Amino acid sequence: MKQHFQILSNYLEALSIRERTLVLFVSIAIIYAGWDGLVFSKQEQHYQQLLSEQKQLFEEQQAREFALAETTAKLVAKQRTAEQNKHAINQAQQSLHETKQQLNSVLNRLVPPTKITELLRSLLLQTRGLKLLSLSNEAVENISLENSKQGQQEQASDTVKTLLYKHSTTLKLSGSYQQLYHYLSVLEDSEWGLYWDMLDYQVTDYPKAEISIKVHTISTDEYWIGL
């Protein structure tokens, strides 16, 4: 292995400054293309699948919330007995509870907003020599699912709403290629689910480089509670 590195070193020393610069840019392009192909494509596919599940469950929850309100109104209008009213409402509430449990099982795969910065910092301890330049939380964004029902359900849209919230964090690190690659690998293999929005790699003083990562999680919490 040392012999191969020596041959490579001799080869690079024999190159002109212009040729070394070209070799450096080509290497960066290959590294970035590899990260983009292996990391982002996989994350995007997983993101779309999970978001589809969330949308379906939210639509079911919205329909059942409306059904609960509609059932309650009809029961009162028809002046049914108290026992009949209680039974019908309990059934609607049980159906709504089951849908919420299914939704929570999907959201529980993701890192909670209260743990996202703790997770990113803790993974730094697994990569010696890596320097944290900055870590900041972005403004929370709403993810709204439009109501597709018509008629009376449209009239109830002001009282029945379903919302998800996107919590994004931007992380900037400095280190060698090996250190940065190790951190990304550890983050990718974490037991917590986390979506990747952006990854920017720049060589600052070879072999030192800086990397900016923007990731996010999804929850039903509107604020960065506990951070």
Task: Report how far apart the first and last C-alpha atoms of the chain are (Å, whole number).
Answer: 47
Contact 172, 124 (CB under 8 A): no
Portion of the chain with pLDDT greater than 90, in percent:
20
- 209: number of Cβ within 10 Å: 19
Distance separating alpha carbons of residues 25 and 101, to the nearest angstrom: 50
What's the mean pLDDT in 191-207?
A: 88
Please tell me what DSSP assigns to residue 34.
H
Distance separating alpha carbons of residues 42 and 36, to the nearest angstrom: 9
Among 71-80, 87-96, 170-179, 207-216, name the one with the lowest average pLDDT: 71-80
The pLDDT of residue 171 is: 94
| Residues in CB range of 44: below 8 A, 6 or more apart | none
Domains of the chain as residue ranges with CATH: 2-219 (3.30.70.60)
